[in-house]
Chain A
């Protein structure tokens, strides 16, 4: 009588298939720590805080479409540099008498718009490229990845400066530059995720069943890397918000008079001694938006990748 419970290829002691699924005993794991249930974790605090902050920014943008306290671009010489808490202007006014709160609300629109388009472009380009790089034969996949690595030498800011040198700054320049610069992170992440999926047994089974690469890519790889993509999209969005602010700050982003948080910061600089609040208010807006997307990304990562638990 042989007593062998381990799932493994036939060995000297093995007769027929040793055991059915219930009796095969996977190796003992380390003692359970945070999630002994083994189930997907409930979303943690970072997820909800992130969601709340992102929701706030989205809400600000949406509200700005139907209502702002004042016209954000209206120059009112009689209401210049009102302080925070002014009955008419809750967040005060800038040196031209424009309402800061209204500018912040409309600025959220700019931030989200640029981020959405940039991350969307990066995802649409990066995800298919990543899957292709994973599935393509080595001699095709390798040069592709080299090219992607090379793109890392061109950060968003540098690309935007190059574009602006030729065309001048614009919202489009900002979106395209940030979008291109965000492509490599998508490609690399999706490629490594796809490689993992491709090495699983169900893909092997699908291959054995004669399914073509196209079907495997669409039906097996794509759904399984979607979690990674969502996490990366959130993180890339945070980076896009930062980049957009920096570009507007340098004058390469959305041109005036459309309000943008980065340019509000830039305009505040000459009045730093007189009215630091003009810098602090848009500064807080930028930081909260970035924080929100980063936390949301972290929270989603916990959800999709249980190995990353305890990272908070």
Chain B
């Protein structure tokens, strides 16, 4: 067990090193000098050179990478060379906003998907199951930003129940915070919920076909109890995998939804810095998002060890 945890930790660290190199190499090696990009084509050679020196862009790549990584580990990312603002505090500020969206949407997706997917699996040949299945298929086909726009048209424009966009920190005005949170969370969560529902459904259908469910029923358990006592844990294994991928999707999907609802989250920050042509800032945010995705996968790997006893001894 301990060995397994160590192995996975080693994998995580290796993945982080490789992906940080990828991100760095992407930004550093591609033709396109960050200073030139930031200052624009009309800037003088002298001002470009000065900026390169100021931000260490004239040093060898390896030393640039090492100092970037060292900064990243201490979470001291320096100041933006476009806006001259400290980078790290800004990221933390925006990350909090995005976390609200992602976590609430994930919870909503789970609350929708687990019961609905189970019902769909149990009734997969009955009309009600087919209708639900068709509905979820439509839900999968709607991108989150489209769902957001549609939700705005209905609930903000037509019914005027909720604000169309904006963001208020929860400690400032909790009611307004909630009112503004509902639509973006619905946009993200409904779509992810539809996707997840289909995975829950097929996973439960798979499990129901398993011999051990038949064994459980032969023991005298009813269909429902057999599924609850023997099926769910096994069905959870593939669903948890998808969950990890979905958290990553949500994190990135939040970028677009933040734009729809004019929410000052990490995604908006990223898009702003792309517009500002602040490559180093972009590099930091991208790395942070990649880090988040890898961390989620790591946690899921550990979860497997708890759910699936076969993995504890597997090499």
Contacts and interface: CB of A to CB of B under 8 A. Distances in A.
Given A157-B256, A158-B289, A286 B140 contact: no
Given A153-B293, A161-B271, A311-B202, A279 B153 contact: yes
Contacts of A155: 248-249, 252
The list of the 8 closest CB pairs from A to B, nearest first, reads: A291-B141, A290-B141, A276-B153, A166-B32, A153-B293, A165-B274, A287-B141, A165-B282
Nearest to A276: B153
B130 A242 contact: no
B294 A153 contact: yes
Nearest to B274: A165
Interface string B35-62: 0010000000000000000000000000
Contact of A166 (B30, B205, B245, B259): B30
B311 to A, nearest CB: 17
Contacts of B26: 162
A157 to B, nearest CB: 5
B266 to A, nearest CB: 12
Contacts of B279: 165-166
A200 B146 CA distance: 46
26 contacts: A150-B15, A152-B245, A153-B19, A154-B19, A155-B248, A155-B249, A157-B256, A158-B290, A161-B270, A162-B26, A165-B273, A165-B279, A166-B30, A238-B141, A245-B145, A250-B255, A250-B259, A272-B164, A276-B153, A286-B141, A286-B146, A287-B138, A290-B140, A291-B141, A310-B205, A312-B130
A127 B11 CA distance: 25
B143 to A, nearest CB: 5
Contacts of B150: 279-280, 283
B83 to A, nearest CB: 15
Interface in A90-115: none
Interface in A138-154: 146-147, 149-150, 152-154
A288 interface: yes
Contacts of B142: 283, 286-287, 290
Interface string B191-216: 00000000000100100000000000
Contacts of A150: 15, 18-19, 22
A260 interface: no
Count chain A CB atoms within 10 A of each CB in B22, B146, B153 and give the residue with the most.
Answer: B146
Interface in B219-264: 245, 248-249, 252-253, 255-256, 259-260
Nearest to A245: B143
B1 interface: no
A290 B289 CA distance: 26
Q: Is the interface of A mostly helix, strand, loop or mixed?
A: helix
A295 interface: yes
Given A162-B282, A279-B149, 4 more contacts: A150-B19, A165-B27, A279-B146, A286-B141
A82 B253 CA distance: 33
Interface in A237-284: 238, 242, 245-246, 249-250, 265, 268-269, 272-273, 276, 279-280, 283
A288 B249 CA distance: 21
A188 B297 CA distance: 17
Nearest to A291: B141
Contacts of A242: 143
Contacts, number: 127
Contacts of A250: 255-256, 259, 271
A167 interface: yes
A276 B23 CA distance: 39
Contacts of B152: 272
A178 B19 CA distance: 18
B124 A310 contact: yes
A170 interface: no
Given A265-B146, A272-B153, A287-B146, A164 B274 contact: yes
B286 interface: yes
B296 to A, nearest CB: 9
Contact of B138 (A265, A276, A291): A291
A282 to B, nearest CB: 9
Contact of B32 (A167, A268, A311): A167
Contacts of B149: 265, 268-269, 272, 279, 283
B74 interface: no
A166 B141 contact: no
A166 B294 contact: no
B314 to A, nearest CB: 15
A269 B255 contact: no
Count chain A CB atoms within 10 A of each CB in B19, B138, B143, B256 and give the residue with the most.
Answer: B143
Contacts of B293: 152-153
